[in-house]
Amino acid sequence: MLIATERKLDRSRILMLLDKLESMSGTALTIYLPDNSLKADTEKALSNIPGIDQNVSIQIIEKVNKSTTGGVIFWSDTYKYLVLPPFPNKERTVLHGYEVEILHSLFLQDLMIALILVRLGSYAIGVFQGEKLLSSKVGTGHIHQRHRKGGSSAHRFERHREKQIEVFFQRVCVRVRERLEPHLPQLDYVYYGGERNTINSFRSCCGFTQSLNDRTVKNLLNVRDPRQATLEAAINEVWSSKVVQWDIG
């Protein structure tokens, strides 16, 4: 019986794993599945693996279909891995051996990445070349907590709070534009971080972010307190990959 373990590997550790696989000899299969892969496409690709366990196949299909960046499978009698990369994989191919080059090249690119971290009352914006911070802006804004009592005063309070949020979002939008616009020709990907409803509301209020949609990765960073230290730590999370490994239990 095969037992799955899941972990996150940062950029350096995933490169070490790929180097290890590349050095291995013996029969193996490598399957590249792009982002937005259909269930039928993943099933067809997995049919290339002789005797794959049905439960494992179901696990892979679920994880790849939920992934916004696709997945890469390395499969042999010795090693069985599924890698969900941090950036979208566009390749769809089945290769013999441990063919790591396509995935390896993704991690060696000096990508330009923007992080937009927003919670109600605080924000942090950064532009990175690889993992090096090029430009950043961090700030706060006063927003009242929700009114817990009912009545007309509560409605007035809520309208006032909504106005505070609108003003805050507008200010953050200006800061996002100031930081990102000079880098737009070179910008590869945009990541958002914070609470999903807040991010969705901010993006709907900030017209500039619409121009970033084609470069926005759907993965949302879990950020509780946007500030400079959080921003600088978040880029490591951006470059990390989920890795699922199956071993005989």
Q: Point out which residues pair with 122 in neighbouring strands.
A: 119, 140
**243 lies in a domain?**
no
- The mean pLDDT of the chain is 92
Please state, in angstroms and as integers, the Cα–Cα distance from residue 19 to each residue in 10, 14, 77, 103, 130, following that order.
Answer: 14, 9, 18, 11, 20
Q: Which domain holds residue 76?
A: 2-109
CB atoms within 10 A of CB 6: 12
* Domain of residue 165, CATH code: 3.30.420.60
Residues 124 and 179 in one domain: yes
Q: What is the DSSP letter of 25?
A: -
Per-residue confidence (pLDDT) for residue 150, from 0 to 100:
52
Residues 78 and 123 in one domain: no
Q: Cα separation of 126 and 15, whole Å?
A: 25
Higher pLDDT, 156 or 29: 29
Q: 109, 128, 156: which is the final residue of a domain? A: 109
Closest CA relative to residue 45, chosen from 2, 86, 89, 3: 89
Residues 132 and 231 in one domain: yes
pLDDT digits (tens, 9 = 90+) for 99-140: 999 999 999 999 999 999 999 999 999 999 999 999 999 999
Per-residue confidence (pLDDT) for residue 144, from 0 to 100:
67
Q: 77, 109, 141: which is the final residue of a domain? A: 109
Residues 7 and 82 in one domain: yes
Per-residue confidence (pLDDT) for residue 190, from 0 to 100:
97
Residues 101 and 154 in one domain: no
Give every strand in the sheet of 122-129, ordered side by side. Answer: 132-140, 122-129, 112-119, 189-194, 216-221
Per-residue confidence (pLDDT) for residue 248, from 0 to 100:
86
Per-residue confidence (pLDDT) for residue 143, from 0 to 100:
78
pLDDT digits (tens, 9 = 90+) for 193-246: 999 999 999 999 999 999 999 999 998 999 989 999 999 999 999 999 999 999
Q: Cα separation of 63 and 10, whole Å?
A: 19
Whether the CB-CB separation of 94 and 29 falls below 8 Å is answered with: yes
Per-residue confidence (pLDDT) for residue 149, from 0 to 100:
55
Q: Cα separation of 209 and 96, whole Å?
A: 42
Residues 18 and 101 in one domain: yes
